[in-house]
Structure 1
C-alpha cells in the first residue's frame, strides 16, 4: 500500500470513528430528555454536533436552536394581525426569552449550570405565558402554533443535557 493510500485510510478511519463517537454522545444525551425525537433530529442535523466531544457542546447546540426558534417567533409576531394586546405581550415574552437564552449561553460557557437552568426555565415560562395570553382573550388561538411547542421542547432538552453536566 502506498503512502497516499495509508494516509487516506487513516483519515477515513479517524473521521468515521469521530462520527460514531458523536452519534453515541447524541444518543446518550437525548435518552435523558422528554423530547427524544426532537433532540436527536436537532442535534444530528447540526454540523457542530457531528464534531461534539462533550455534552456541553450538545447543550450549546440545543441552546442555539432554541434561541433561533424564539427569534423566528418574534419575527412572526411582528407581522401578525389580531389581538394587538396579546400580540404585544407575546412578543415581549419571546424577547425576554431570547435575552434569557443569551444569558444562558454565557453561563454555559462559564460552566455555571444552575444559572443555565434558571435562565432557560424562565425563557420556557415566557413562551408558555404567550400561549396563555391568547387563551385569556376569548379562547383565541396563538399565531405561534407549533413553533411554541418546538421552543418549549428545545428548552427542555437544554435543561436535560445541562442536568447531566452537573
Structure 2
C-alpha cells in the first residue's frame, strides 16, 4: 500500500514536473521565436498566390478593355458612314437633274433664263421631260398672272389720268393678259392629264397644249402693241419691259412643250 502511494506520488510528481517543463519550454525564447516563425510562414505563403491572382486578373482585363474600346469606336464611326451615303446619292441625283435641265433649256430662245427659272425645281423634275414642260408652264402661268394683276392696277389709276390713249392701251393689255392666263391654265391642266406617250390621245392632248401656249404668247405680244400710239413715259416703258420678260417665260415653256411633244410622238 505504501508502495502504491509512493508510485502515485511519483506519478503526480512526474506529471507536475512534466507540466512545469512544458511551461518552461513554451516560455523559452527559442520557443517564442519558433512560434513566431511558424505564424509568419503561412502569412508569406498566402501573399504569393494573391499577387499571382492579381496579375492574372490584370492581364485578363487588358483584352477586355481593348475589345470595349474597339466596340466604342465602331458604334461612333459606323453612323457617320451610314448617314453620309444617302447624302452622296442625293447630291449625285440633284447634279444629274440640273444637267438635264441645262441641256433641255439649250433648245429654247432664252436658255439662261430657262435654266435659272427651272433649276430650283430640279428635285421635282429629275430627268423627266414631261415634268420639265409642266413646270415651265407653271412658271409661265405665275408670271403672266402677276403681270395681269399689275396692269389691272395701272388701268384703274389711268382712268383718272389725262391721257385716254394710255388708259385704253392698259385696258386692252389687261384683257390680253387675262386671255393668256386662261390659255396657260388650260395647258397646265391638260399636261396633268396626259396619257402615255405614243398614243393618238397623247398627240391630241399635246396638240391642245401647243395651240394654247402659242395663243398665250400671241396675246402677250398684243399687249404691247397697243402702246405704239402712247407717248413715251415711265409707265409705258415699265409695262413694255415687264411684258417682254413675261413673254420670254412663255416662249421657253412653249419650246419645252414642243420638244416633249416631238419625243413623245416618235
Cα distance in 1 for residues equivalent to 2:191 and 2:115: 20
Question: Which protein is richer in helix relative to its size?
Answer: 2
Cα distance in 2 for residues equivalent to 1:96 and 1:8: 50
Which aligned pairs between 1:18-97 and structure 2 lie closer than 5 A?
18-44=93-119, 46=120, 48-53=121-126, 54-80=128-154, 81=158, 83-97=166-180
Structure 1 length normalisation: TM-score?
0.88
Change in Cα spacing, 1:17 to 1:142, as seen in structure 2 (3 Å) is: same
Structure 2 length normalisation: TM-score?
0.57
Tell me the residue number matched to 1:113: 206
Cα distance in 1 for residues equivalent to 2:103 and 2:244: 23
Tell me the residue number matched to 2:252: 157
* 1:44-79: CA deviation from partner (whole Å, max 9, x where unpaired): 2x3x33331212222222112211111111121122
Tell me the residue number matched to 2:60: none
For structure 1, which segment, 76-85 or 101-110, has the greater mean C-alpha deviation from structure 2 after superposition? 76-85
Which is higher, the Rg of structure 1 or of structure 2? 2
Question: Unpaired runs of 5+ in structure 1?
Answer: none
Change in Cα spacing, 1:11 to 1:122, as seen in structure 2 (3 Å) is: same
How far did 1:139 drift? 5.5
Cα distance in 1 for residues equivalent to 2:190 and 2:206: 7
Spell out structure 1 runs of 4+ moving beyond 6 A: none
> How many equivalent residue pairs?
163
Cα distance in 2 for residues equivalent to 1:77 and 1:90: 7
